[in-house]
A and B are shown apart, each in its own frame.
Chain A
Amino acid sequence: MRWIGKDVPRKEGKDKVTGASRYIDDITFPDMLYGVTVRSETSRGILQRTVFEEGIPWEEFTQVTCKDIPGNNYVALIETDQPYLADGKINHPLEAVLLLAHPDKYLLQEARRKVSLEVDPLPPVYDIEESLNQKEIVWGKDNVFKEYLLEKGDIDQVWEKADHIIEGEYKTGAQEQLYIETNGIVAVANPEEGVTVWGSLQCPYYVHKALMALFDLPADKIRVIQTTTGGGFGGKEEYPSMIAGHAALLAWKSGKPVKLIYDRLEDLAATTKRHPSLTRHKMALSSEGKILGMEIDFVLDGGAYATLSSVVLSRGTIHAAGPYLCENVRVRARVVATNTPPHGAFRGFGAPQSIFALERHLDKAALQLNLSKEELRRRNFIQEGQLTATGQVINEKVSLADLMTKAMEKSDFQKKKEQFHSENKKNKYIKRGIGLSSFFHGAGFTGSGEAYLESMLGMEATKEGKIRILSASTEIGQGTNTIFSQIAAEALGIEYDLIEISVPDTALVPNSGPTVASRTCMIVGKLVESAAIQVKEILRQSGFLASTYSSSEFSKACQSYLDKFSQLRVFSKYKQPTNIKWDDQTYRGDAYGAYAWAVYVAEIKIDLRTYETTVEDFVALQEVGKVIHPTLAAGQIEGGVAQGIGYGLYEKVVWDKGQMINNQMTNYIMPTSADIGKIRVFFEEAPYAHGPAGAKGIGELPLDGVAPAISSAIENAIGLDIPEIPVTPETLHEYWVSRKVNS
């Protein structure tokens, strides 16, 4: 292959290294106003009054409340429970109540400080336990946004046959996406032209749908344009619909362009985080270490509104039983309401939470059965032809056992384990350990999601004789522009430089679906490939393109075609492969078209004087189908591993009354370059029949396996099984002290 598997230059790379790329805050319009959001401090209550203090020329300000909304006061996504602007009821701290705009951004900040909200408080709930116990009912009838029951076999009859029954409880904390570019939108809106927004976002058509409902306008009156986006990781999946609505409401009322950019304090405190989770495991095993049954109770904290939580829960549920064969499984999964800002999409999307619990639980089982962590997993790995927890037949050529063997070799696992064991005995304070995780991650939307989406992608010839891809799939750093160009160039048999990517602009590109769920390469990339095949076929049939051709002959053929027919544009639409079947009612069937498979190994050092854990070496080995761009693919994994190290060790959201109070980069601790040790990435490639050139998805995969591998290594180093993350030094200290006390 000429382009697939090659390290071609990143499509927009030059603009990024020269500072020429235009991000949302780099864009201004003449006569533009700045906008800010006035938010509640109270976590739950009834809004009584808004007080505007003296000393501010309030008449100069554009003010928007829920009364100014021309259409529907909800963020259209799945449910309709989340208002754009609170209408009397406050359900979480930082809930938007009032919008202000003014040409002077300094005066605007001063004005925001001079507005106060009088709220009659209502009793709130702040965590999963309080919500499950219905301390207060804060959402619906029972605080439960969504519940799933996933069942395979008959779990109730396994307990008496089991040689071992092992129970455990696991907790994961919230995690901030921490894209380095904060959220922001610029809007132009008026009744004549409709609403246009530019912004830092992942999913133009999510914003499009939300603005249609907010303004009660038809599709052609709403236009959403993605600007260069400085990272997303899920954090710019659903939340930009909120900011876009706010900016557009201010623009609509003022008649002027409005820029609404969050600073870091606001972005951290007000926008979505990864859902905190609480998982209870009960596992039946035979004396030979076969898993006979798993009963899993998986609960997520959804925050105050439903947002995407049901979908996050779904992915977490399906991944909860992992890549292991087990005939009897029951997963009861719920996502519940609390009076905190809603939690939302974050790379991994529910799977990192349930996989953390499972992998830690397997380690616990291995210890109890006196098997190595590796061996217990080997005895249970799912294989080709076997059924997952949803009853999906694995029809990929996967061998987790081989991946395990390779990961053991690459990390020198056995030798390190023995070496650390003997060194640790000699060293009172410095303890080293090595640990592992094995896992899978489904690519694309869950179940029938892709079939419902019916993603569409366009491709056209330009008069310069180039090919332009029309897609709503966004480049957010992961390399969409580059891999799409490679896939197209490969399928068309032309130079990489002849491929252009249209700006994701809903007025210009069809809906290729959201840029989420590790779907861009596998699902939308396949649409690129099939569109390219159509283009080639049209050119051939028209007689302008011979059976063999050079790139310049191809360009000439495009130009000749355009001269004659004026347009060459094709669309390709997603068709569910016929072998994929899913039943939403029973929650059974083919959950995902394909899975990426992985074994990760973490090597860590603990200083028992300070209880600090450092990752010294990390081996990330995965099978992801065909790798389209080795450097970009490795970059995805390395970045995901670093985020996973943050998730496992450093990144703790400190809550007070439902509000994040460490909302500064100084106090929310993501790893720096000095904190990240060597990350070694290895790919195995087993081409997937329905992916472009055989590719599957990789974006989310690394988040799933890092934290459990690190916790496993901590256990190996000091014999302390810590069932929660992040394992900050304070957390490790607490567990260490309580073990000392108990023993």
Chain B
Amino acid sequence: MKKVDIFFTINGVKKTVSAHPMKRLLDLLREELELTGTKEGCGEGECGACSVFVEGKLVNSCLIPSLQVQGCEVKTIEGVADGEQLHRVQESFLKEGGAQCGICTPGMIMAAIALLEENSEPSYEEIQEGLAGNLCRCTGYTKIFTSVVKACQK
């Protein structure tokens, strides 16, 4: 099967990329656009390392074929900071020890932003549930919870 042209907006910039319609959004971002901040951890929607926003909603980019982002707005970790100014969630992860090895961090930050957009002051249990799709093997989640709580206070 031939490639098709995918038109979409990535981190605010309109792009057209030629890709196989079933190519994973994850691979489209990493290979065609060199946006390597989005990571692959499991390839089955289990770990959340590939989390991005499509049309403002948190999704696993390993589970989305390119064809499905036709005409969509996609936002990745690279589009989160405002130039040099980190997003408050990024600031908080940096300061509170929310990132250790860093491989889950981009996806975790996307999930945390999604959580805070939905609920500006989540309880401990709501944070636990809201981030449950993002696996972290380093932190035991404790410092991630703190990072989210502190980000709310900013």
Contact = CB atoms under 8 A, between A and B. Distances in A.
A–B in direct contact per CB < 8 Å:
yes
Interface of A: 7, 9-10, 12-23, 25-26, 177-182, 228-233, 263-265, 476-479, 631-632, 634-635, 638-643, 664-666, 670, 672-674, 676, 679
A7 B98 CA distance: 13
B93 interface: yes
Interface string B98-120: 11111111100100000000000
B135 interface: yes
Contact of A477 (B41, B43, B101, B131): B101
Contact of A478 (B37, B39, B100): B100
Contact of A665 (B44, B96, B100, B103): B44
A182 B42 CA distance: 8
B1 to A, nearest CB: 11
- Determine the main DSSP class of B at the interface with A: loop
Name which of B36, B43, B95 has the most chain A CB atoms within 10 A of its CB.
B36
Contact of A635 (B30, B36, B37, B143): B143
B4 interface: no
Interface footprint category on B: 35 or more
B78 interface: yes
A634 B141 CA distance: 12
B47 A664 contact: no
A92 B130 CA distance: 41
Nearest to B102: A16
B137 A674 contact: no
11 contacts: A17-B99, A19-B35, A19-B106, A179-B137, A180-B104, A231-B103, A477-B100, A634-B143, A639-B100, A643-B140, A674-B128
Contacts of A674: 128-129, 132
A8 to B, nearest CB: 10
B100 to A, nearest CB: 4
In the A-B complex, list the 8 residue pairs whose CB atoms are closest, starting with the nearest.
Answer: A19-B37, A477-B101, A230-B103, A642-B140, A16-B102, A19-B77, A638-B140, A477-B100
A676 B141 contact: yes
Given A19-B105, A634-B142, 11 more contacts: A13-B94, A180-B41, A230-B39, A477-B138, A632-B97, A635-B140, A641-B140, A665-B47, A672-B133, A673-B134, A679-B142
A177 B95 CA distance: 26
A437 to B, nearest CB: 17
A231 B132 contact: no
B141 A18 contact: no
A635 B93 CA distance: 12
Contacts, number: 169
A263 B78 CA distance: 24
Given A19-B76, A673-B128, A673-B132, A181 B41 contact: yes
For the residues of A in contact with B, the DSSP-based class is loop
A18 B89 CA distance: 11
Given A631-B143, A674-B129, A180 B47 contact: yes
Tell me which of B37, B39, B102 has the highest count of chain A C-beta atoms within 10 A of its own C-beta.
B102
Nearest to B129: A674
B145 interface: yes
A18 B90 contact: yes
Contact of A19 (B38, B128, B142): B38
B29 to A, nearest CB: 11
Contacts of A664: 42, 44, 46
Nearest to A179: B137
Contact of B143 (A22, A179, A638): A638
Nearest to A677: B128
B74 interface: no
A635 to B, nearest CB: 5
Contacts of B142: 634-635, 638, 676, 679
A231 B101 contact: yes
Contact of A679 (B90, B135, B140): B140
Contacts of A642: 139-141
Contact of B99 (A10, A177, A229, A476): A10
Tell which of A182, A477, A634, A670 has the most Cβ of chain B within 10 Å. A477
Give the residue among A13, A180, A640 with the most B Cβ atoms within 10 A. Answer: A180
B144 interface: yes
Interface string B64-97: 0000000000001110110000100011011111
A14 B86 CA distance: 9
B140 A666 contact: no
B90 to A, nearest CB: 4
B66 to A, nearest CB: 14
A52 B3 CA distance: 29
B144 A673 contact: yes
A643 B132 contact: no
Among A21, A182, A634, A640, which residue has the most Cβ atoms of chain B within 10 A?
A21
Contacts of B77: 18-19
B54 interface: no
Nearest to A680: B142
A622 B41 CA distance: 32
Given A665-B41, A679-B142, A16 B131 contact: no
A25 B40 contact: yes
Given A19-B36, A22-B36, A672-B135, A639 B140 contact: yes
A666 B139 contact: no
B76 to A, nearest CB: 7
A26 B101 CA distance: 15
A17 B47 contact: no
